[in-house]
Structure 1
Amino acid sequence: MNDNKISANLSATDRLAVMDAIATIREKLPFLVDLTTEDRRTMLKMGDKSRAFVSKALEVATQNPEFLPRSFNIEEMRRDLALYEALYPILLSLTQLQELVDDTYISIGSEAYAAALAVYNYAKASGDVTGLDAVIDEMGRRFTRRSKKKQPETSMN
């Protein structure tokens, strides 16, 4: 277990503070939506190139509203673009944070699992595990593979 990269604790107080901070973020962003997979698949997506296009279109619409239908809401378009721009640095920051949390979670899980494997292997190798045979057998079931059901043979006539 020489490859232990993370040795830390997260106190209940700190965990609660983080959860409260996340709740505050959700509270400050009450307009967030939850899209379905189908929504995501079918929606227009605005990337870096599209941002310049949308900005130009807004400027054209602002300076030349006469060719737009009366139902077109330039102010709503302006609000949408402003909110998009305001959310962008938040999205980047949260994405970076999520990657760090994900990587840390995977790393500590790996370290804990490696330690558990070491305990299991040491216990199996040791002849002196009086009273632990049932526990070691139970732990060993983690590694038993289920046999695949034999596929019925099809005849080639």
Structure 2
Amino acid sequence: MAKNQISANLAPADQEAVMQAITTIHEKLPFLIDLTTEKRRAMLKMGDKSRAFVSKALEIATQNPDFLPRSFDLEEMRRDLALYEALYPVLLSLTQLQELVDDTYIATGSEAYVAALAVYNYAKASGDVAGLNIAIDEMGRRFYRRSNKNKCEATAS
């Protein structure tokens, strides 16, 4: 069996506290939006090089507002950039936390699955001990795959 990478418990009270913290984050960020995949693809993305460009453009617009059309909302640009800059460290922290939770979730699932496979193999190898055949058959259905021949026959019918 593979080396156990994690052995921990998440107490219900701790799980509830984490869920409450997530609720608090949602409450503190009521302006968050949910973009569709299509809208996300269509949007211009601001990376590190673009951040400097946008900051410079805001500086120029602030110092020389006369060349901008009246419909241009300089204050909205300033608010958008300020929010972008304020969200950046939050995004980095949440991304790091999400990766840790995801890695831990994958590792614990993998360890549980490896252990279950070991139980299944030990049970199969031990024969009909204490009427395990029904349980072994039920577990074995997890690995059952219909052959291509059976699939073709089923779709032709």
Q: TM-score, normalised by structure 2?
A: 0.93
- Residue identity matched to 2:55: S
Can you give the 5+ residue segments of structure 2 that lack an aligned partner in the other structure?
none
Partner of 2:17: 17
Amino acid at match of 1:39: K
Q: Secondary structure at the match of 2:5?
A: coil
**Percent of residue pairs identical:** 80
Q: CA RMSD in A?
A: 1.2
| Distance across 1 between alignment mates of 2:72 and 2:16 | 46
Answer 1 or 2: which has greater helix percent: 2
Give the deviation of 1:128 after TM superposition: 4.6
Tell me the distance in 2 between the aligned counterparts of 1:83 and 1:2. Answer: 46
| 3-state DSSP of counterpart to 1:102 | helix
Gaps of 5+ in 1: 152-157
3-state SS, counterpart of residue 33 of structure 1: coil
Q: How does 1:106-121 map to 2 (within 5 A)?
A: 106-121=106-121
Aligned counterpart, 1:37: 37
Please state how far the C-alpha of 1:48 moved relative to its aligned partner.
Answer: 0.5
1:91-140 Cα shifts (integer Å, max 9, x gaps): 00000000000000000000000000000000000035222111100101
Question: For residues 8 and 32 of structure 2, what CA distance do their matches in structure 1 show?
Answer: 33
Distance 1:55 1:101 in 2: 34
The CA distance in 2 between the partners of 1:21 and 1:27, in whole Å, is: 10
Shift of 1:2: 5.1
Matched letter for residue 66 of structure 1: D
Tell me the residue number matched to 2:144.
144
Q: Which residue of structure 1 aligns with residue 7 of structure 2?
A: 7
Output aligned runs, 1:6-85, within 5 Å: 6-85=6-85
**CA distance in structure 2 between the partners assigned to 1:79 and 1:13 by the alignment:** 39
Moved over 6 A (4+): none
**Within-5 A mapping of 1:75-114:** 75-114=75-114
Query: Which residue is 1:154 aligned to?
Result: none
Deviation at residue 150 of structure 1 after TM alignment? 3.8
How many residues are paired up? 151
